[in-house]
Structure 1
Amino acid sequence: MVNATFTVENHAAYVTIEREDKLNAVDSETKRAIIDELDAYKTDDAVRAVVLQSAGDKAFSAGGDVKEIPEVDYSLQYFTESWDELFTTMRNLGMPTIAKVDGITLGGGFDLLLRSDFVIAADNAHIGQPEVDLGIVNHFSPPMLLQQVGLRKTFELLMTGETISGAEAADIGLVTRSVPRDQLDEEVDGLVETLVNKSPRIIKKLKDGIYASTNMTPDAAERHLERISLESARNDPDYREGVDAHLNDRDPEWVVE
């Protein structure tokens, strides 16, 4: 049974994990469905951003379904391969992903947060990575966590397994921003509206270029992004349309090809 629903509204796709009784833990069948749906969004002109969210207000996601572990004879690879496929799909989606985080956010839920381009969290959310308590050497979180929060906080989060609040997560740069729970919907809706009204082509090139630059030296990253920028200005209609719209005090009309 797939414990998620998928809807599209006003150029935004909403992936909603629906398993409240299990703190929105993601079972393998649901994970597979999410991957397939994201793959379909890549070529859907109606979709310009993806929101990852969950039913209820108790948990964004407690992670993977631990009860599945004995069923596959404790094979960790069985789970890591599918999580890796999901995270790679999110990165290569060509459009922004937004995690709407409320309540308990642990394990795979933490990594979903970490791999999203934007994260809006309730200030009282409980965010942590307790895989050390399951006897697991976490390998998904450290690379991006080091980039986002630094060495000391990475050690603290991964070795203690303790949770932090959404407010603290914002303070250390782990999430984009945090807001009171009753403002979460409004904050996410505002961000979605902003993003879907940008040029999809420019957003894709920005996302791809920024992620590529994380593996480069600053000088190499600047040259890489400069090549993308100049090529786009020469060959794509967005630069001319954006400038003309600004000079004529009108909203740009982005052409999607």
Structure 2
Amino acid sequence: MTTPIRTERRDRVLEVTIDRPKANAIDAATSRIMGDVFASFRDDPELRVAILTAAGEKFFCPGWDLKAAAEGEAPDSDYGVGGFGGLQELPGLNKPVIAAVNGLAFGGGFEIMISADIIIAAEHATFALPEINSGTLADAATIKLPRFIPYHVATELLFTGRRFDATEAKHWGIVNEVVPKETLMARAREVAELLAGGPPLVYAAIKETLRETMHLPIQQAFDMVTKRKLKTVDKLYSSDDQLEGARAFAEKRKPEWKGR
């Protein structure tokens, strides 16, 4: 039996591959699998970083499977613990996720992509939010996109649904890097290995701080951190790793992060 989601453990890195021919579109059942995969990644202390990519060279993900929709699957179906695509609403995901975008990322596929922390795109990758053309709302993109690119750029992409290439995506800061398709996974793995060797408690504190303070005034955000109101920050400041970082600096050696 084939599975639409393939996983591979490479030491401390989990690679997750959408493999659902012909275009890697996602229906509710696939989304639930993705949510379970990322929840398991979140909860596995041996795993530090995940890479999300897709099979083939043409499609990363075009979003919701419209064939499933035509057969009666509703837009508000049960997409699983992490919401559509497993990443967007998964609570407590405090580990780095890298998206390696190997082709077209439209609609919900684009929204899954921007749920990652670092995005590396192949040179031929293309992007769009075409929901406007089918009379529906690109809900996650409407909420998230204006938070990290200029408002008027975000609204233009949402209002027109037009396609744009990897060069433009890099220009607006939607993706971090653009690389030849032949080197996409090698580069994603290089970044993943770098992060896997870093301090996991700090990554967790960074992700929770970003998530919980983005909407707050600056002083309230500082209070959340300095008064240790965030669980990950409190754990970090009381951890062996916090002391290890200082000791390693003083002893002029590489830290040995234990995650505790």
TM-score by length of 2: 0.90
The alpha carbon displacement at 1:169 in A equals 0.7
Aligned partner of 1:39 in structure 2 is 39
Aligned residues: 254
Q: Which residue of 2 aligns with 1:68?
A: 68
Amino acid at match of 1:61: C
Q: CA deviation at 1:34?
A: 1.0
**1:236 pairs with 232, 236, 239, which one?**
239
Alignment identity in percent?
26
**130-139 or 104-113, larger mean C-alpha shift:** 130-139
2:89 alignment partner in structure 1: 88
CA drift at 1:181: 2.2
Structure number with the higher helix fraction is: 1
- 2:253 corresponds to: 250
The one-letter amino acid of 2:16's match is V
User: Would you say the 8 A contact 2:62–2:105 is kept in 1?
Assistant: yes
Shift of 1:86: 4.1
Which one is further off, 162-171 or 215-224?
Answer: 215-224
Q: In 2, Cα distance between the equivalents of 1:124 and 1:84?
A: 23
Indicate how the Cα distance of structure 1 residues 132 and 80 shifts in structure 2: closer, same or farther if over 3 A, else same: farther
Shift of 1:84: 8.0
Partner residue in 1 for 2:158: 158
Alpha-carbon distance in 2 for matches of 1:252, 1:107: 42
For structure 2, the 5+ residue unaligned runs are none
Q: Contact 1:17/1:55 (CA < 8 Å) preserved in 2?
A: yes
TM-score by length of 1: 0.91
Secondary structure class of the residue paired with 1:22: coil
Q: CA RMSD in A?
A: 2.1
Query: 2:204 is matched with which residue?
Result: 204
Residues in 1 aligned to 2:123 and 2:85: alpha-carbon distance in whole angstroms:
28
Matched residue type, 1:10: D
Q: Residues of 2 paired with 1:70 and 1:36: CA distance?
A: 25
Contact 2:31 2:86 in 1 (8 A): no
Structure 1 range deviating more: 225-234 or 176-185:
225-234
Would you say the 8 A contact 1:122–1:167 is kept in 2? no
For the residues of structure 1 that align with 2:30 and 2:165, how far apart are their CA atoms?
27
Ranges of 4+ aligned residues in structure 1 off by more than 6 Å: none
| Structure 1: tracts of 5 or more residues without a match | none
